[in-house]
Structure 1
Amino acid sequence: MCVPPEATSLRVGRAPEPPADHVGGFVRGALTADREVIHAEPLYCAFHELDDRVERWTDGEAYGTVYQFPPEVYWSHVRRHGSPKGYAGPAACSRLPFDIDRADDLAAAVADARTLYTFLEGRYGDGVGVYFSGSKGFHLSIVSPAGFTASERVPDVAKLLATTIASKAGVRIDPAIYDRQRVFRLPNSRHRASGLYKRYFDVDELFGLDADGFRRAARHPAGTSPPTPASVSVQLAEDWHQAASYVATARPFGSSGRVAPSFCPVVPQFVRDAIGFADWQEPGRAVTLFRCAAALSEAFALHGADAVIRGLLEEPALKMGLTADEVVKQLRDGIAHVRKAVR
């Protein structure tokens, strides 16, 4: 997938608001706390605006799922399994998120947030949200109307699009946040370790404050309406649909020259999910790690090292925007390079 840096923003019509009927997970306190199922967009807006209904929860940790889900399907899963854990059904992405995390170097995170904001605003127009995370970095987001319609592929599309955008902007983001069940810190919630709040900053503050200035401002929450675009970004819609087309047309390796790791017979999906920090399934993380080690050992014994290397690396390479032909070439050449060197 390609996001040409020279593209400019074209906007038409009034931008639709994120759907209010989708549900999501809500976690208060520690990440290990039970997830409540709640209407996702009203929850997000209430925290963003410091609504009286949620203000009592803003003095501690609070998280909402990155994605939103059709209520009937999601509730059916919860009733059947007793919790949202393991849900793999349709998901929507009302806001495409980006996570910039720079341990022990907030100044670098500030610089990267400015760079990514500039790219997003230049390509898609207004409505980009910028948030100090309350600790080591920044969260950015942009309303994504093309992601309002839930489907099973939305998490893959969101990850591919976001990582491609960040790559073109020259900014490193965390690719692990795009898992289907991932939760993300809500605006105006308090980071337990730092005591600071995740809070919104406008463009003047983004370019006017230094690292210490953001920390000082984040000692207190700040209620404001979520940023929304004034009109629809045609470019964002085109980029989303291009990513969706790429994800939808992937085929098993060898059937059409395109690599489709989700169908890879060598490295099981649960192993690739675990390595990518996806939602690890019961009966527990230790058992999942055991199963992963056993599956990789079996794959190596049955199929050899080359197949295991391809099975592990094809998917992230495709999702970072490399073409299928380039993925095949670089994996082949990398394997051959080491073999030649050790002879």
Structure 2
Amino acid sequence: MIHPDYKFGFRVAGDITGRRNLIDFEKAFLAYLENSPKAETHKESYLSAFVFGADFRAYLDREGSPRGFNGPCWAPYVWFDIDEAELPKALEAAKFLAESLLERYRTLHADDLLRFFSGSKGFHIGVPVCWEAAPSIVFNSVARRMAEGLANRARVKIDSGVYDKVRCFRAPNSTHPKTGLRKRFLEHSELMGLSVDGILELAKEPVAVELGERPKPDSLMLEDWRIAVEEVDRNDRANEQRRLDLTDGNAKLNRSTLDFIRAGALEGDRHRLLFSAAANLAELGCPPTLAHELLTETALDSGLKPSEVRRQIDCGLTHVKGGKP
């Protein structure tokens, strides 16, 4: 399941603000899937959304936190995080997405997807990375572009925040602190056939899950990944040009930045547009304090949590400056 050189991740046992502890990701992930006593799934728990190499281990040992790490990463799954204000809408979206993925990738069987009720108001669907996708500094960005393209094809909104490189992602079978429900694995028939009440009933208890063999890659997986790589590369080149414009005194306030300050963004685009707006302000030499003042209220009005707002703004500022905001 794991790339041989990228086996490290982090775990948070308890509140999401807690310490990020280094783990062997595959062992920890399987322990949660299997509802092992060692995983303590009766508690709130999180795992890293991506996996890392030895440089991450050294960074975490040195800094005491993964924050600011910008080295290469990889992932055994491309995740889709579907959240809606109303759970029935989230369930319908998850059904549409699952069916769309299986229709597009013919080598995938229903059992190859990982499907979870999040424990609160959404669903997580994971597509196994069974195609050739090398670890890289931009792996998480490429995964996001691929996922956004697939979600758009299915006309489903997803939360782009999960593609932050050092993002916490709720662990399988763990307990949601507000609802007391589990992040519950769902069989394909359960996702497609159960009502919301039926799924909520299942989520009262954990379930042990055993992974099957990795599926064979579909040619369209390779094509979708290639397109996403090219899109990220074009975006990086455009960002580099903006940096050059900045040194020449030609930097401009992007229209999307102005639109975000004025009106915010819809769910599914909030993290991406907030990050982009913060990065654009940094390109213009905007002080961090002023950037937070300009963006925070609108971001909160868009439905993001205060901690998410601070993180996305800081990440955008850091992305341009190459260091701490």
RMSD value, Cα = 3.1
The residue identity in structure 2 corresponding to 1:141 is: G
CA distance in structure 2 between the partners assigned to 1:133 and 1:264 by the alignment:
43
Partner secondary structure for residue 126 of structure 2? strand
The residue identity in structure 1 corresponding to 2:50 is: Y
**How far 1:250 moved relative to its partner?**
4.0
Map 1:252-331; keep pairs closer than 5 Å: 252-253=237-238, 265=246, 266=251, 275-276=274-275, 290=289, 292-293=291-292
Match of 1:205 in 2: 190
Matched, 1:149 2:148: no
Deviation by residue 1:3-41 (Cα, 9 ceiling, x = unmatched): xxxxxxxxxxxxxx3336511111011011000011112
Q: Choose which of 10, 15, 18 in structure 1 pairs with 2:2.
A: 18
Matched, 1:123 2:104: yes
CA distance in structure 2 between the partners assigned to 1:260 and 1:66 by the alignment:
30
Partner secondary structure for residue 130 of structure 1? strand
Q: Choose which of 81, 85, 89 in structure 1 pairs with 2:71.
A: 89
Match of 2:178 in 1: 193
Match of 1:283 in 2: none
CA distance in structure 2 between the partners assigned to 1:96 and 1:262 by the alignment:
30
Match of 1:31 in 2: 16
Q: Which has the higher contact order (CA 8 A, sep 6+)?
A: 1
CA distance in structure 2 between the partners assigned to 1:194 and 1:295 by the alignment:
34
2:2/2:76 contact within 8 Å kept: yes
Match of 1:174 in 2: 159
Partner secondary structure for residue 222 of structure 2? helix
The residue identity in structure 1 corresponding to 2:75 is: C
CA distance in structure 2 between the partners assigned to 1:35 and 1:264 by the alignment:
38
2:11/2:48 contact within 8 Å kept: yes
**How far 1:80 moved relative to its partner?**
2.8
Matched, 1:245 2:230: yes
Partner secondary structure for residue 276 of structure 1? helix
Deviation by residue 1:61-98 (Cα, 9 ceiling, x = unmatched): 1111111101x210221233232221111010210000
Structure 1 residues 293 and 32 mapped into 2: Cα distance closer, same or farther (>3 Å)?
Answer: closer
Partner secondary structure for residue 217 of structure 2? strand
Structure 2 unmatched runs, 5+: 258-270, 280-286, 296-325
**How far 1:132 moved relative to its partner?**
0.4
CA distance in structure 1 between the partners assigned to 2:185 and 2:154 by the alignment:
21
**How far 1:264 moved relative to its partner?**
7.3
CA distance in structure 1 between the partners assigned to 2:74 and 2:42 by the alignment:
29
2:161/2:272 contact within 8 Å kept: no
Map 1:37-186; keep pairs closer than 5 Å: 37-54=22-39, 57-70=40-53, 72-103=54-85, 105-124=86-105, 125-126=108-109, 127-146=112-131, 149-186=134-171
The residue identity in structure 1 corresponding to 2:99 is: T
**How far 1:147 moved relative to its partner?**
6.8
CA distance in structure 1 between the partners assigned to 2:22 and 2:14 by the alignment:
15
Partner secondary structure for residue 177 of structure 1? helix
Match of 1:315 in 2: none
Task: Give % identity.
Answer: 30
CA distance in structure 2 between the partners assigned to 1:290 and 1:145 by the alignment:
43
The size of the alignment, in residue pairs, is: 263
1:26/1:65 contact within 8 Å kept: yes
Deviation by residue 1:30-66 (Cα, 9 ceiling, x = unmatched): 0110000111122111101112432xx2001111111
Structure 1 unmatched runs, 5+: 1-16, 281-287, 297-343
Matched, 1:231 2:212: no
Structure 1 residues 147 and 92 mapped into 2: Cα distance closer, same or farther (>3 Å)?
Answer: farther
Structure 1 residues 163 and 218 mapped into 2: Cα distance closer, same or farther (>3 Å)?
Answer: same
The residue identity in structure 1 corresponding to 2:150 is: I
**How far 1:229 moved relative to its partner?**
4.1
**How far 1:241 moved relative to its partner?**
2.0
Partner secondary structure for residue 38 of structure 2? coil
TM-score (normalised: structure 2): 0.73
CA distance in structure 1 between the partners assigned to 2:181 and 2:245 by the alignment:
43
Match of 1:316 in 2: none
TM-score (normalised: structure 1): 0.69
